[in-house]
Copies of this chain bind each other. A is one copy, B any other.
Amino acid sequence: MPAADTLERWHAFTATGDVAVLDELLADDVEFRPPTYWTPRRGKREVALILGAVAGVFEGFRYEREWVDGDDWALEFTARVGGLELKGVDLIRLDGEGRIVDFEVVARPPSAVAALRDAMAERLAALLPPSGS
A interface residues (Cβ-Cβ under 8 A, vs B): 33-38, 65, 67, 69, 72, 74, 76, 85, 87-89, 91, 104-114, 117, 133
Query: Main SS of the interface on chain A?
Result: strand
Contact A110-B106, Cβ < 8 Å, known A65-B72, A67-B74, A91-B89: no
- B87:A36 contact, CB within 8 angstroms: no
Bound-complex Cα distance A119 to B73 (A): 31
- B72:A108 contact, CB within 8 angstroms: no
Please indicate which of the listed interface residues A33, A34, A91, A112 has the most CB atoms of chain B within 10 Å of its own CB: A91
Bound-complex Cα distance A34 to B108 (A): 8
List 5 A–B pairs whose Cβ atoms lie within 8 Å, in order of A's numbering: A38-B85, A74-B89, A107-B108, A111-B133, A113-B113
Distance in Å: Cβ of A77 to nearest Cβ of chain B:
10
Q: Find chain B residues with CB under 8 A from A109 CB.
A: 35-38
Distance in Å: Cβ of A82 to nearest Cβ of chain B:
14
